[in-house]
Structure 1
Amino acid sequence: MRRAVLTCVAFLLLVCGCASVTAETPSSPPVVQVWPPFDARRARTDHGLVVRARGGTLSRVLVSEGGEQVPGRLDRSRTIWRSDWTLKPAAEYTVTATAQGSGGPDTVAMGRFRTRPARRGFQVAATTPLPGETVGTGMPIIIDFDSPVTDKAAVERTLEVRAETPVEGAWRWVGDTRVIYRTRRFWAPHQQVTVTAHLAGVRGGAGLYGATDSTFAFTVGRGQTSTIDTRTHQMVVRRDGAVVQRMAISAGMATTPEYTTTSGIHLTMDKGNPVRMISPGRAEGEPGYYDLLIDHAVRISNSGEYVHAKNNLWAQGRANVSHGCVNARPDQAAWFYDSSLRGDPVTITGTDRRLAWDNGWGFWQLPWDRWRQGSALPGAGPAR
């Protein structure tokens, strides 16, 4: 009887021993890493903010500065969050990040840090168009900085163009203080465009950092384009595709290069009524000298070309006799003056003098691939 009991006990011990190996090991919570680290007092600005999750995924990241949310985005794995732009100098940032593990507890990391002040700052000095301006469909965006920029790629990455109708465009540098945005095709009419230079904290050169962001918006108005044929002496103005004006004109007499109207895609740049026009390269008393006040003058280049009024009816529609400008009947020139917006395309054909791409706003003279070569970045994306 004793032997039977011992055998039963041994069997029960064997069964219980096998069951004990199935116990689960608790999982570790995910780890959240933040750069710049919490409590930093002089964090760099030009690398932005990065939050990482180890052993889990990020479910929520909230970053604020000065009471405003800092924009950023997660990668596809949801393990890395990056700020969209660089960080402001001499600013305090607050971060709250939550990471989820696989069945274990969440990890919540909270803290703050400060960025270092900029030793030398730069910012936007001027823009074209002006804030709130209504412009034509060929209008470029021109940004001038108040200090020379050497790290052009870093600065160009901060430049954001948002159009209500998306369009492909690219920036082109024309010096250390000026960058120009041109679309591949003309802007769609009747829309608003917003431009933001997210400069705060970006490194523009050795010891040079962006001081502040800058935003402005403009409106693309009706789609007005003009074509001028110097051989037939005619100008046709179309608005949103429909012909709204036909004008007999007289163009440059072409006896010298300076008296030859340039062929190509011009843009209206500014206008005056009147505009004082003085003969280039000639002193008073020399042959060909003139000093005149011209009414209703719309400038289309930097080489003295205008569409303007002149009581020259005997030549208009028949012969080219001007010093390089395009003149029209006074009442029609006044109409064109009143109806023109900066950035309206004016295409001239029929002469052997080509408009240079850097003469005024002759940017449409460059093929798209050549325009893009002036960017500091490997490629140009669409406006959003």
Structure 2
Amino acid sequence: MAAALTASCSGGSPAPGGPAAAGKSATASASPAPAIKISPAQGSSKVKPNKKVVVTASGGALDEVVVQGGGKQLEGSFNADKTKWVSKEPLRPTSSYSVSAKAGATTAAASFKTLKPEVELEVADVTPNQKGEKVGVGAPIILTFNNPVSDKAAVEGALEVEAEKPVEGAWRWINDKTVIYRTAKYWPAHQDVKLTARLNGVQGGKDMYGVKDYTTTIKIGAKQISKVNTKTHMMYVYRDGKKVKTMRISAGMATTREYTTTSGVHLTMERANPVRMISPGRKKGDPGYYDVMINHAVRISNSGEYVHAKNNVWAQGRQNVSHGCINSRPDQAKWFHDTMQRGDVVDIIGTNRELEWNNGWGFWQLSFKEWKKGSALEETR
């Protein structure tokens, strides 16, 4: 009995499964709480709007990240194991943001403020886009900004064109304030096209950031295409593939380059009744000087070319006697004036003077391959 008692009181290892073994196992399986890090850090000010909000977790996965500010919840995405969350869109300038995150039982929060831009960037004008206007199938989208843009790739990347009947297109910068969208082929007729400029927070140059987004809908009307042949002195107008008007015309007399009608794909740009036309570079008394009021005039270039009314039916259909414009019978010119949409196509052939691509809206004079070379995004590829 004594031996048994001695054995039971010796300092050997506890029996497997005893109280000491259970305690040691529980201690080994305990894990530290996840740690959460937020950037920008708590209290940051003058944060650049193009900075990403980044939330990371070590020792665990993120369950939830919510970023509020600028009047909305900021969108973002997790990585595969949910240890990192990164915002997807720019921040709004001159705004306060709050960040809250949760990983298991751990929570974290931070707040920060974005800077006020020294220079604000926004859309100043979109043409053609008058209220209630329908435009032709050749119409460009001419976007003008309020300030010169130096980071054109960043700004162009914020522009989105969505058509009900999609067609390939591209932007081309013609100066630091103006960028133009043209399709590879004419727009399909009778549809809406939505333009969105997601400029908010986009850096357009040194100390310049977009301060608000812009969106508008452009309505594409009928497919109206006019074919003009200066050698046969005829003009045919087609709408949605059907010939709707045959017009006898007289074009430029071509005694000088100035008096030669340009050949190529023109777009109708504006109309007026009447238009005052004055000979360029001449003063009263000079040979060739004129100062006249012309009815029902539709501009097709910036070098003074119009389709307009002229009561010289003796020449129309027979010979070219104008200073470069296309003139037609007054009643037919009025019809054309009244039915035109900005961006309708006027395709002229028969002369040795080509329309320049940047003469008015002569953008279709460039192949689409050439057109795309003016894209800032094309340059970065």
Q: Which residue of 2 aligns with 1:338?
A: 338
Contact in 1 for aligned 2:38/2:110 (Cα 8 Å): no
Instruction: Give the Cα–Cα distance (whole angstroms) in 1 for the partners of residues 78 and 294 of structure 2.
Output: 60
Q: What SS does structure 1 have at the residue aligned with 2:262?
A: coil
Instruction: Give the Cα–Cα distance (whole angstroms) in 1 for the partners of residues 82 and 349 of structure 2.
Output: 56
1:274 Cα offset (Å): 0.5
Give the one of 23, 44, 48 matched to 1:44: 48
TM-score, normalising length from structure 2? 0.85
1:131 Cα offset (Å): 5.3
Structure 1 or 2, whichever has the larger Rg, is 2
Q: Which residue of 1 aligns with 2:294?
A: 294
1:74 Cα offset (Å): 5.8
Q: Root-mean-square deviation (CA), in Å?
A: 3.2
Describe the shift of the 1:121–1:285 C-alpha distance in structure 2 as closer, same or farther (beyond 3 A).
same
1:14 Cα offset (Å): 7.5
Q: Which residue of 1 aligns with 2:153?
A: 153
Deviations 1:144-172 (A, max 9, x none): 22222222222222222222222222111
Aligned residues: 373
Describe the shift of the 1:96–1:187 C-alpha distance in structure 2 as closer, same or farther (beyond 3 A).
farther
Q: Which moved more, 1:304-313 or 1:44-53?
A: 44-53
**Aligned-partner residue type, residue 119 of structure 1:** E
2:198 pairs with 1:194: no
Describe the shift of the 1:304–1:76 C-alpha distance in structure 2 as closer, same or farther (beyond 3 A).
farther
1:31 Cα offset (Å): 5.7
Instruction: Give the Cα–Cα distance (whole angstroms) in 2 for the partners of residues 175 and 343 of structure 1.
Output: 21
1:67 Cα offset (Å): 3.3
1:71 Cα offset (Å): 4.3
Q: What SS does structure 2 have at the residue aligned with 1:176?
A: coil
Contact in 2 for aligned 1:190/1:219 (Cα 8 Å): yes
**Aligned-partner residue type, residue 323 of structure 2:** H
Aligned sequence identity (%): 53
Describe the shift of the 1:306–1:186 C-alpha distance in structure 2 as closer, same or farther (beyond 3 A).
same
Q: Which residue of 2 aligns with 1:357?
A: 357
2:368 pairs with 1:377: no
Q: Which residue of 2 aligns with 1:220?
A: 220
Describe the shift of the 1:92–1:174 C-alpha distance in structure 2 as closer, same or farther (beyond 3 A).
same
Q: Which moved more, 1:224-233 or 1:347-356?
A: 224-233
User: What residue ranges of structure 2 are gaps of 5+ in the alignment?
Assistant: none
Alignment of 1:324-335 (within 5 A): 324-335=324-335
1:261 Cα offset (Å): 0.8
Q: Which residue of 2 aligns with 1:126?
A: 125
Q: Which residue of 2 aligns with 1:115?
A: 114
TM-score, normalising length from structure 1? 0.84
Alignment of 1:40-79 (within 5 A): 40-51=44-55, 61-72=65-76
Instruction: Give the Cα–Cα distance (whole angstroms) in 2 for the partners of residues 195 and 247 of structure 1.
Output: 36
Instruction: Give the Cα–Cα distance (whole angstroms) in 1 for the partners of residues 273 and 168 of structure 2.
Output: 36
**Aligned-partner residue type, residue 161 of structure 1:** V
**Aligned-partner residue type, residue 89 of structure 2:** W
Q: Which residue of 2 aligns with 1:102?
A: none
User: What residue ranges of structure 1 are gaps of 5+ in the alignment?
Assistant: 100-104
Contact in 2 for aligned 1:263/1:353 (Cα 8 Å): yes
Contact in 2 for aligned 1:252/1:326 (Cα 8 Å): yes
Instruction: Give the Cα–Cα distance (whole angstroms) in 2 for the partners of residues 174 and 89 of structure 1.
Output: 28
2:309 pairs with 1:305: no
Instruction: Give the Cα–Cα distance (whole angstroms) in 1 for the partners of residues 327 and 89 of structure 2.
Output: 50
